[in-house]
Amino acid sequence: MIWVDRLVQQLKKRELKLEWVDDMKTPSGRIHVGALRGVVIHDLIYKALVDAGLDAKFTYVFEDQDPMDGLPAYLDPKKWEKYMGMQLYKVPSPESGYENFADFHAKEFQHVFEKINCHPEIIWPSTLYKSGKMNGVIKEILDASAKVREIYLHVSKNKRPDDWHPFNVVCDKCQKIGTTYVYKWDGTDVYYRCMPDMVKWAKGCGHEGQKSPFDGNGKLPWKLEWPAKWKVIGVTIEGAGKDHMSQGGSFDVASEVCRKILHYPVPHAFSYEWFTVGGKKMSSSKGVGTSAIEVSKILPPELLRFLLVRTPIETHLDFNPYGDTLLNLFDDYDRCMNAFFDKKENKIPQGKQGEVLMDFARIIELSEVRPNPEKRLFLPRFRTLVNLIKTSTDLLEFFEKQKGSTLSPDEKEQLEEREVYARVYLDQYADEEDKVEFMEVIPSDLSLTDKQRIFLQEFAQNLAVNLTKDEIQSAIFSILKENNLSPKDVFSAFYQAVIGRPGGPRASDLILEFGVEKVKSRLSQVLDQAGSQIKKEKGESIYPDLDDSKIFNIDAKLAKEYPSISIGIAIIKNVSIGKNHLEITKKLEEILSENSTLTNENISAYPEVLSYRKLYKQMGIDWHSRRPSPEALLRRISTGKPLYRINDCVDAYNLIVMKHRVSVGAFDLDKITFPTQLRLAQEGDEILLLGDSEPTKYKSSELAYYDAQGPYNIDLNFRDAQRTAVTDSTKNIYLNIDGVYDISRKQIEIVMKETIETIQKYCGGTVETVGILKAS
Ligand SMILES: [Zn+2]
């Protein structure tokens, strides 16, 4: 049984004719989501009372008589300061269409709680006081002023001056209520001074006067108004946030006054914990982004109510809309919803497990916003939906396949609604990596393969301003078909050009979101930039073709099998290699922070990574167990593991590898016996890899670099041999840069240039030989 039903069982025993549930809030600004917890808790008690067959009422008091004692951050102090100290219902509304300041903020909050199916009757104390209904309790309390002072002293250790009287009267001269001090009560009138310095937030005018305290001329101080209101309204149940319920706090004072002065039974009370958002403690004045109305936009009403219903009242509820919280909340909701259906279908087992399921079902009953479904519904899982949107999958098709039949109209409605919130989540709260923004600047090293160039050219030509989503989609498919292109080979270029990432939401969605003109002009920019790179590649390569087979050659058989291979070779002499260079440390930290949101999905979409994986597959190597070295480095970053520090030479070129995803190998030239060759391994050849104590055997399908003594590397860029490793005593370096498939000669040149510059920066040395050798 859940807490509210247990409470009602208890309350039932007192056999009151009418149970009156009440809650309240001062609408002094935009109301924080924390206050919503009070509304829902009281609403639950009210509904559970009704469910148990008791007569019950539920009211909500908006304290519009309270003085304005602080300004919300969104209001201009210059304009609003003059109202400080005045009653909220006498201050104008910040927006037109509302009666006053209190009305404006109360209505906004009321709108939120009505949306989650809480419909208390609203009570405005300004009306209550003016109607004269409070006159009796005002007299009782003023007559007992000395006793009130005693209660303050005893219960809350708060000593009031001997002439202090428990009433806040409105100053006849300046209309403020927060600044007056009542020093006498003669049974008909209160006598007051309007004090210039009594409170920090408002200045009194100094006026002295006397007037009747009745019929709306003022109000009781809050701690006394609370019990007075219990008596006048007839409240029998009212809880409060734990700040009011501490020992010697407002509730203790109110109860004492209720018993000893008003002679009214203290309502059943309870304390509930905070409801905060994103870790911040609740506060009406500084709650940016945590007001009830803002939080209500993150969640469907059912889920917001569910969140409040299922959390025990003594548990601090901190809702963090970022990360996984929302996804988990939907999962929990679905789990309870299933129990609800199980209950309807009489499928709940006996025993402990059955009790838990019954509680789940009850939570759903109490979370009802719209009528709960009559029959079991297929619920599309929110987490799956979010992922499907990210990968632009057809949602309806997916879920119908998952369900095994078409979705009913109710199920379709569920799907559509969840999609809306999934998009809000992806747009505002999912991790950075899930956000998509138009990239303002094209990276200077963005390069295109021939296929990608053709695709972008055709696409830019075919994009017209007035195309619909479907037309854009079909244009894409016909371009792919006519040019015999596969989406896998060319789409990453589109995404890189537009959002700076290798993948993203459906292309047509992005185009419509950013605007056709903007995307078109971006594609031409990228094509221009790539075009100038091509010219450069054709006319003026940075490095010559390597034409010295006594240094390096590619085995003819291999070249035939892998014609796309191109290798960069360089010799750098007289280096001096240190360790843990501080500047490299700094650069590594930069890379780590730039890539803090890198995921394995991002890595798997890089064309360079895909090229190496393709090679591994062709070599018969499972790239899950042996990762190409650039991928291995990036995966360490994405999983938050620290990068190995080897020495300044290796650390330096690893920076370049991570930047370009193209592998670089460096070897100790003095341990190498020329000629070197890239070839298929000899079956049974062995290599002692760096860090290993046992040699590894090759299969004849594996690629390896060989020198005259044997292999010194395995699988092009998986790992290198101990024999030729660069250490801090290495003086001369032999470099290779590995290109295959989509990794162009141009890329090899750029990577070569940056690698040489970086090594020279940290280790010095002179370049003796450098060139590129292509297999075909
Ligand atoms: Zn005054």
**For residue range 718-769, what is the model confidence (pLDDT) as tens digits?**
999 999 999 989 999 999 999 999 998 888 999 999 999 999 999 999 999 9
Residue 184, sorted as left (phi over 0), alpha (psi -120 to 50) or beta, turns out to be: beta
Distance in Å, CA 67 to ligand 1 centroid? 13
Closest alpha carbon to 253 in 152, 164, 166: 152
Q: In this structure, what token pair is assigned to residue 321?
A: 């809309």
- What is residue 207's predicted lDDT score, i.e. its pLDDT? 97
User: What is the tens place of the pLDDT at every residue in 246-257?
Assistant: 888 999 999 999
Distance in Å, CA 201 to ligand 1 centroid? 14
User: What is the tens place of the pLDDT at every residue in 209-225?
Assistant: 999 999 999 999 999 99
Helices (H) and strands (E) in the chain, counts: 28, 24
Note whether 71 and 88 are within 8 A (CB): no
Distance in Å, CA 223 to ligand 1 centroid? 23
Distance in Å, CA 661 to ligand 1 centroid? 74
E strands along 189-290, which residues? 190-194, 208-211, 218-219, 240-241, 271-272, 275-277
Q: Quote the CA–CA distance of 224 and 178 in Å, as a whole number.
A: 16
| Residue 745: C-alpha distances to residues 291, 410, 545, 571, 749 (Å) | 56, 56, 10, 19, 6
Distance in Å, CA 82 to ligand 1 centroid? 12
Distance in Å, CA 68 to ligand 1 centroid? 14
Higher per-residue pLDDT: 29 or 501: 29
Q: In this structure, what token pair is assigned to residue 25?
A: 């809030």
- What is residue 682's predicted lDDT score, i.e. its pLDDT? 93
Q: Give every CB contact of residue 764 below 8 A, 6+ residues apart in sequence.
A: 574, 575, 576
Given a cut of 70, whether residue 436 has pLDDT beyond it is no
Please identify which residue in the block is written with the tokens 């319920």: 245
Distance in Å, CA 253 to ligand 1 centroid? 28
Higher per-residue pLDDT: 347 or 288: 347
Closest alpha carbon to 415 in 392, 391, 386, 436: 386
Poorest-pLDDT segment among 283-292, 333-342, 752-761? 283-292
Q: Quote the CA–CA distance of 291 and 304 in Å, as a whole number.
A: 13
Distance in Å, CA 215 to ligand 1 centroid? 19
- What is residue 284's predicted lDDT score, i.e. its pLDDT? 40
Q: Quote the CA–CA distance of 273 and 267 in Å, as a whole number.
A: 19
Given a cut of 90, whether residue 131 has pLDDT beyond it is yes
User: What is the tens place of the pLDDT at every residue in 327-336?
Assistant: 889 989 999 9
Distance in Å, CA 226 to ligand 1 centroid? 25
Question: What is the b/e burial string over 597-612, where b = at least 16 CB atoms within 10 angstroms of the residue's CB?
Answer: ebeeebbebbbbbbbb
Closest alpha carbon to 496 in 591, 605, 390: 605
- What is residue 434's predicted lDDT score, i.e. its pLDDT? 53
Distance in Å, CA 177 to ligand 1 centroid? 8
Distance in Å, CA 99 to ligand 1 centroid? 24
User: What is the tens place of the pLDDT at every residue in 373-402?
Assistant: 999 999 999 988 988 888 788 899 999 988
Helix (H, G, I), strand (E, B) or coil at 324: coil
Closest alpha carbon to 637 in 607, 593, 604, 601: 593
Note whether 166 and 148 are within 8 A (CB): yes
- What is residue 289's predicted lDDT score, i.e. its pLDDT? 58
Task: Identify the band that residue 427 occupies on the pLDDT scale cut at 50, 70 and 90.
Answer: confident
Higher per-residue pLDDT: 69 or 290: 69
Distance in Å, CA 178 to ligand 1 centroid? 9
What percentage of residues in the chain have a pLDDT greater than 90? 62
Q: 382-390 and 395-403 are packed helices; what angle lies between their axes, rounded to 10 degrees? A: 140
Note whether 382 and 327 are within 8 A (CB): yes
303 residue type, one letter: L
Distance in Å, CA 165 to ligand 1 centroid? 17
| Residue 158: C-alpha distances to residues 152, 169, 184, 200 (Å) | 5, 21, 20, 19
Given a cut of 70, whether residue 549 has pLDDT beyond it is yes
What percentage of residues in the chain have a pLDDT greater than 70? 96
Given a cut of 90, whether residue 510 has pLDDT beyond it is no
Total Cβ atoms within 10 A of residue 396? 15
Pair type for strands 190-194 and 208-211 = antiparallel
Angle at 736 between CA 731 and CA 738, to 5 degrees: 160
Distance in Å, CA 172 to ligand 1 centroid? 7
For the ranges 19-28, 472-481, 638-647, the one whose mean pLDDT is highest: 19-28
Task: Identify the band that residue 286 occupies on the pLDDT scale cut at 50, 70 and 90.
Answer: very low
Distance in Å, CA 600 to ligand 1 centroid? 68
Distance in Å, CA 224 to ligand 1 centroid? 23
Given a cut of 70, whether residue 419 has pLDDT beyond it is yes
Note whether 653 and 759 are within 8 A (CB): yes
Task: Identify the band that residue 293 occupies on the pLDDT scale cut at 50, 70 and 90.
Answer: confident
Higher per-residue pLDDT: 391 or 175: 175
Q: How far is CA 110 from the centre of its chain?
A: 27
Note whether 684 and 715 are within 8 A (CB): no
Note whether 609 and 661 are within 8 A (CB): yes
Mean pLDDT of the chain: 90
Distance in Å, CA 174 to ligand 1 centroid? 4
Helix (H, G, I), strand (E, B) or coil at 386: helix
- What is residue 439's predicted lDDT score, i.e. its pLDDT? 76
Question: What is the b/e burial string over 63-77, where b = at least 16 CB atoms within 10 angstroms of the residue's CB?
Answer: bbbbbbeebbeeeee
Residue 215, sorted as left (phi over 0), alpha (psi -120 to 50) or beta, turns out to be: left
